[in-house]
């Protein structure tokens, strides 16, 4: 049985809708994603690596990422799309990965066709080695066979465009992964305009919907993505960690410059807002009720 969520990604996608999924790196950022009104949480490997002060190059273990995701699931009711990178090993490891993430409350996993250890996709000149197609098909088949709830989504991520292998290989891989049982295909691009992705989507002749992460090509607005009519999920890949870094850099610089916190309050939420997020009202109620 999958964790009950306030929204159902499979339903949104099956009804021809486009789910808007925002990245988070910890339970608090996941809570803010939920309050903002998104349809799901992207448990991003990039964001969590960055939050640990690390590069997104397979340094984070499955246990660390899973614990973080489980902590998010405990604080929010949105569905979580778990970024499990390469699946933490081969098809045998994927069997275990999918079982663990479904049990921990994820609604979907995204598994990418890169070799372990992977290198983050958007970095210029990154090493981008891909698995042979048949081997990755085995990993997707393993993922499909490991899930318990048929509503749990297995998303196969095609990195052929990131690796510079061109559209025809990207389409060939996407078709092979659909044939292996993927519910959706995530196709990633680091081109600065939407052209590469729009061309892929126009030429996509499979029947499963596409997932995109338009970080590098921000002109791909939601309305432009919807107009393509094949996008089932749009992921905002790293805006939580970038917003957090922006906020902290600005406030810390101001405190250093001013020699104190006398002006910083104008730029940050009051402590009462943190109390609200921590549910201190609930703590007070519980104190009145239970403490003797
Ligand atoms: C992530 O957020 O971890 C992703 C998206 O996988 S990207 O960093 O753009 O590859
Ligand atoms: Mg990732």
Q: What is the pLDDT of residues 62-106, one digit of tens each?
A: 999 999 999 999 999 999 999 999 999 999 999 999 999 999 999
Q: Which of 56, 85, 117, 233 to mutate to test the pocket of ligand 1 (most atoms within 8 A of CB)?
A: 56
Evaluate whether residue 208 is within a structural domain.
yes
114 band by pLDDT with thresholds 50, 70 and 90:
very high
Q: What's residue 2's pLDDT?
A: 86
Domain span at 255: 245-290
Ligand closest to CA 25: 1
In terms of domains, do 108 and 188 share one? yes
Q: Are residues 13 and 38 in the same domain?
A: yes
Question: Residue 2: inside a domain, yes or no?
Answer: no
Residues 219 and 279 in one domain: no
Q: Ligand 1, closest atom to CA 120? A: 10
- Looking at the domain assignment, is residue 64 inside a domain? yes
Same-domain check for residues 184 and 273? no
Based on the fold, state whether residues 54 and 187 are members of the same structural domain.
Answer: yes
In this structure, are residues 66 and 113 in contact, taking their beta carbons and an 8 Å threshold? Answer: no
| pLDDT score of 243 more than 90 | yes
CATH number at residue 93: 3.20.20.60
Counting residues of the chain whose pLDDT is more than 90, the rounded percentage is 99
Asked if the structure places residue 136 within a domain, the reply is yes
Q: What's the predicted TM-score (pTM) here?
A: 0.98
The average pLDDT across 109-125 equals 97
Tokens standing for residue 45 = 């490997």
pLDDT at position 190, please?
A: 97
| Confidence grade of residue 26 (pLDDT, cut at 50, 70, 90) | very high
pLDDT recorded at residue 1: 75
Q: What is the pLDDT of residues 254-269, one digit of tens each?
A: 999 999 999 999 999 9
Please give the distance, rounded to the nearest whole angstrom, from the Cα atom of residue 185 to the centre of ligand 2.
Answer: 15
Quick check: is 3 in a domain?
no
Question: For residue 13, what pLDDT is reported?
Answer: 96
pLDDT of 30 reads 98
Residue 246 is predicted with a pLDDT of: 98
Question: Do residues 128 and 222 share a domain?
Answer: yes
- Same-domain status, 73 and 150: yes
Question: What's the whole-number average pLDDT of the chain?
Answer: 97
């Amino acid at each position: 049985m999958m964790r009950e969520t306030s929204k159902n990604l499979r339903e949104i996608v099956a009804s021809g809708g486009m789910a808007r999924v925002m990245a988070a790196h910890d339970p608090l950022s996941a809570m803010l994603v939920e309050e903002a009104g998104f349809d799901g949480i992207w448990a991003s490997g990039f964001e969590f690596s960055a939050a640990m002060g690390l590069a997104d190059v397979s340094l984070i273990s499955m246990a660390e990422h899973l614990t973080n995701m489980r902590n998010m699931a405990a604080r929010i009711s949105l569905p979580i799309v778990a970024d499990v990178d390469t699946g933490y090993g081969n098809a045998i490891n994927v069997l275990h990965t999918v079982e663990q993430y479904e049990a921990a409350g994820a609604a979907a996993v995204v598994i990418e066709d890169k070799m372990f250890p992977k290198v983050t996709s958007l970095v210029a000149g990154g090493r981008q080695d891909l698995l042979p197609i048949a081997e990755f098909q085995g990993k997707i088949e393993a993922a499909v066979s490991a899930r318990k709830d048929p509503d749990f989504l297995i998303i196969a991520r095609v990195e052929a465009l990131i690796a510079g292998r061109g559209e025809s290989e990207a389409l060939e891989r996407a078709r092979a992964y659909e044939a292996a049982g993927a519910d959706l295909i995530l196709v990633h691009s680091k081109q600065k305009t939407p052209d590469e992705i729009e061309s892929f989507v126009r030429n996509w002749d499979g029947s499963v919907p596409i997932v995109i992460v338009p970080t590098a090509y921000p002109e791909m607005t939601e309305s432009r993505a919807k107009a393509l009519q094949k996008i089932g999920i749009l992921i905002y890949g790293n805006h939580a960690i970038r917003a957090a870094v922006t906020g902290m850099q600005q406030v810390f610089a101001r405190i250093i410059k001013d020699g104190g916190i006398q002006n910083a309050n104008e730029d940050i939420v009051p402590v009462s807002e943190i109390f609200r997020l921590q549910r201190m009202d609930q703590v007070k109620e519980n104190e009145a009720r239970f403490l003797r």
